[in-house]
């Protein structure tokens, strides 16, 4: 089988690549320290009743389980629910503790190791999932922003985002339905370099196989259903947790804050989106009239829930697979998963 080795990143290059994320995180944390009173933050924690926290945990697990089902459906049921569920959380764990957002690549690599699928066969299913995420986030922003800032013109941002999602879907659908066109284009562009041509055609062929659900409308609708359920669970756990901190919280608060947070975590940052997620949630809730100190308390609890649950499930996944984080990190940086 062919391999496509890549050189490891030298230490200096690794540091340079990490600098943008570090700077964003430092700025985010500094901004929080400027607007938050630590005494009031402690008080915000002490005055809360966390009796409904188990419901939050169950709803969060529903989010992860639904996403695992969507991923399994994209993979044509070539993996079990158990494998897709635990590998999904292994990817979250990688994102939580490793730089460069390696969790998505790690998911494709780890699932390939578990069930024998090639990296480039799994990767497009993750791309498809992320396009769905972008679409749902844009829809939430599109529907909630006008109510938050009181301007109908605010719809334009959501429309642009939704149009972008539509264009990406159409591009992926075109590639899936006319794979020979994509392969011919790559062949034409790389004709002067036969070895490169062979390598790219092999990878593209695997990638196009991963887009096969787009050629099957019933399967595509099942993926859409599971992703919709994922976002409904996501909205629900944010809302139930928000009600612990804000009696006046509404579903609009949850929808708007999730949409803003989805944009926020797309920015470069340190692992686990430290500071960035908190700024996104505090900023969005402040626009809705929430107290910044209470909003930060809520954001910190939400972040800890995500980190702890996905961390525990990710560790279980690595234990089952017999892999170590260090070994996976080295493989992702120094080896091609296309094997």
pLDDT tens track for 85-116? 999 999 999 888 876 677 888 888 888 888 88
Which pLDDT band, with edges at 50, 70 and 90, does 11 fall under? very low
pLDDT at residue 1, as a whole number: 41
pLDDT at residue 161, as a whole number: 65
What average pLDDT is seen over the chain?
81
pLDDT at residue 235, as a whole number: 95
* SS (HEC) of 207-243: HHHHCHHHHCHHHHHHHHHHHHHHHHHHHHHHHHHHH
**CA-to-CA dists, residue 62 to 94, 140, 233, 235, angstroms:** 21, 19, 6, 11
pLDDT at residue 162, as a whole number: 67
pLDDT at residue 27, as a whole number: 75
Smallest Cα–Cα separation from 332: which of 127, 101, 88?
101
pLDDT at residue 24, as a whole number: 66
pLDDT tops 50 at residue 6: no
| pLDDT, tens digit, 9 for 90 and up, residues 137-151 | 888 887 887 777 765
Domain spans, the chain: 11-334
Q: State the residue for tokens 């429309």.
A: 159
| pLDDT, tens digit, 9 for 90 and up, residues 124-179 | 889 888 888 888 888 888 788 777 776 555 556 556 666 777 787 777 777 777 77
CA distance 302 to 298: 6
Query: If you compute the radius of gyration of the chain from its CA atoms, what whole number of angstroms results?
Result: 21
pLDDT at residue 4, as a whole number: 43
CA distance 128 to 151: 32
To 10 degrees, what angle do helices 103-115 and 119-149 make? 140
End-to-end CA distance of the chain: 6
pTM comes to 0.81
Which pLDDT band, with edges at 50, 70 and 90, does 5 fall under? very low
Question: Given phi > 0 = left and psi -120 to 50 = alpha, else beta, which region is 77?
Answer: left
């Amino acid at each position: 089988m062919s391999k496509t080795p890549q050189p490891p990143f030298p230490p200096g290059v690794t540091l340079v690549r990490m600098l943008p994320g570090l700077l964003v995180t430092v700025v985010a944390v500094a901004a929080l320290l400027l607007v938050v009173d630590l005494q009031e933050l402690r008080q915000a924690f002490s005055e809360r009743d966390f009796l409904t926290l188990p419901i939050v945990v169950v709803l969060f697990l529903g989010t992860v389980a639904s996403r695992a089902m969507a991923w399994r459906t994209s993979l044509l049921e070539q993996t079990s629910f158990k494998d897709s569920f635990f590998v999904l959380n292994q990817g979250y764990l990688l994102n939580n503790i490793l730089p460069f957002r390696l969790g998505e690549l790690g998911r494709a690599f780890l699932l390939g190791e578990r069930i024998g699928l090639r990296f480039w066969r799994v990767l497009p299913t993750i791309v498809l999932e992320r396009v769905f995420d972008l679409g749902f986030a844009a829809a939430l922003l599109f529907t909630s922003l006008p109510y938050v800032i009181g301007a109908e013109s605010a719809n334009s941002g959501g429309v642009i985002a939704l149009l972008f999602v539509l264009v990406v879907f159409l591009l992926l659908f075109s590639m899936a339905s006319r794979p020979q066109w994509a392969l011919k284009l790559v062949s034409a562009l790389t004709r002067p370099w036969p070895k490169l041509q062979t390598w790219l055609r092999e990878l593209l062929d695997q990638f196009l196989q991963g887009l096969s659900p787009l050629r099957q409308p019933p399967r595509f609708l099942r993926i859409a259903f599971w992703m919709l359920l994922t976002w409904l669970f996501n909205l629900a756990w944010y809302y139930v947790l928000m009600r612990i901190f804000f009696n006046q919280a509404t579903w609009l608060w949850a929808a708007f804050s999730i949409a803003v947070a989805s944009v926020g975590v797309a920015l470069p940052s340190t692992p686990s989106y430290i500071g960035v997620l908190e700024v996104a949630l505090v900023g969005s809730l402040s626009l809705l009239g929430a107290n910044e100190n209470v909003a930060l308390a809520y954001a910190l609890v939400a972040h800890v829930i995500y980190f702890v649950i996905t961390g525990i499930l990710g560790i279980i996944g690595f234990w089952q697979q017999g892999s170590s984080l260090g070994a996976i990190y080295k493989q992702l940086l120094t080896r091609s998963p296309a094997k």
